């Protein structure tokens, strides 16, 4: 079975995420600025990089390496073209985190925003164990109504296949999985969005 993320066009994804009724692209951009700057590290891995939203906040004087991980080659090609100013620092890798975590390189910081929903707690914890970061900063979406986890928009049917891989997120379950992997929760920030959804940033330290 083909992972549905390989079949969603980047334009549909970004147009949907940036709508005023959704506003996730804008929220995540501001969050990533903080994620890149909050910790004293010089290597970072962005899991589920999509089109590279937020990469303009990578400080090349701080970071010697930024790994962009995604399952969709078209997304990674777009990232490379959009952020050629990060050449020498940014390295894009096509890796299926669910099935190929053994291919992941090591990094001091993992940023994983709206990714764990599509791989599950166990697979994410396994990937973290392979990367061996000191810090993990992730954003999960909390929904009041599970059936409405994708906001209504003209692009909604582009995401129909995601029902096969989407998992409802719970803060406590993620923290439990991270605790078992040797990480403790050190930060929690909630950002309320339209349509009864929230983005919750949870940061962990080893």
How does pLDDT run along the chain (206 residues), one tens digit per residue? 788 889 889 998 888 877 776 778 899 999 999 999 999 999 999 999 999 999 999 999 999 999 999 999 999 999 999 999 999 999 999 999 999 999 999 999 999 999 999 999 999 999 999 999 999 999 999 876 545 546 555 556 566 767 777 778 899 999 999 999 999 999 999 998 877 788 999 999 99
Domain count, the chain: 1
Q: What is the pLDDT of residue 180?
A: 96
H or E segment to which residue 130 belongs = helix 121-131
Longest dimension (CA), the chain: 44
Segments forming the whole domain that contains residue 198 = 4-205
Residues for the chain: how many in total?
A: 206
The pLDDT value given to residue 148? 56
> What pLDDT was estimated at residue 172?
95
CATH code at position 94: 3.40.50.150
Q: Which residues are bridge partners to 46 per DSSP?
A: 68, 111
Q: Are 79 and 51 in contact (CB under 8 A)?
A: yes
Please give the backbone phi and psi of residue 64, each rounded to the nearest 5 degrees, phi first: -95, -20
Q: What 3-state class would DSSP assign to 72?
A: coil
pLDDT at 18 (0 to 100): 79
């Amino acid at each position: 079975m083909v992972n549905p993320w390989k079949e969603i066009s980047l334009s549909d994804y970004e147009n949907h995420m940036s709508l005023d009724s959704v506003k996730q692209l804008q929220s995540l951009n501001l969050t990533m600025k903080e994620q890149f700057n909050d910790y004293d590290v010089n290597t970072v891995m962005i899991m589920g990089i999509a089109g590279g939203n937020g990469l303009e906040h990578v400080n090349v004087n701080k970071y010697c390496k930024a790994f962009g991980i995604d399952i969709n080659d078209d997304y990674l090609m777009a990232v490379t073209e959009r952020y050629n100013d990060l050449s020498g620092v940014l390295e894009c890798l096509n890796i299926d985190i669910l099935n190929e975590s053994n291919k992941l390189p090591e990094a001091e910081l993992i940023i994983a925003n709206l990714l764990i929903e599509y791989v599950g707690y166990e697979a994410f914890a396994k990937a973290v164990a392979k990367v061996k970061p000191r810090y993990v900063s992730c954003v999960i979406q909390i929904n009041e109504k599970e059936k409405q986890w994708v906001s209504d928009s003209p692009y909604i049917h582009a995401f129909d296949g995601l029902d096969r891989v989407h998992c409802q997120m719970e803060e406590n379950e993620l923290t439990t999985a991270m605790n078992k992997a040797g990480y403790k929760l050190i930060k929690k920030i909630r950002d309320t969005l339209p349509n009864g959804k929230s983005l919750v940033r949870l940061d962990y330290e080893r």
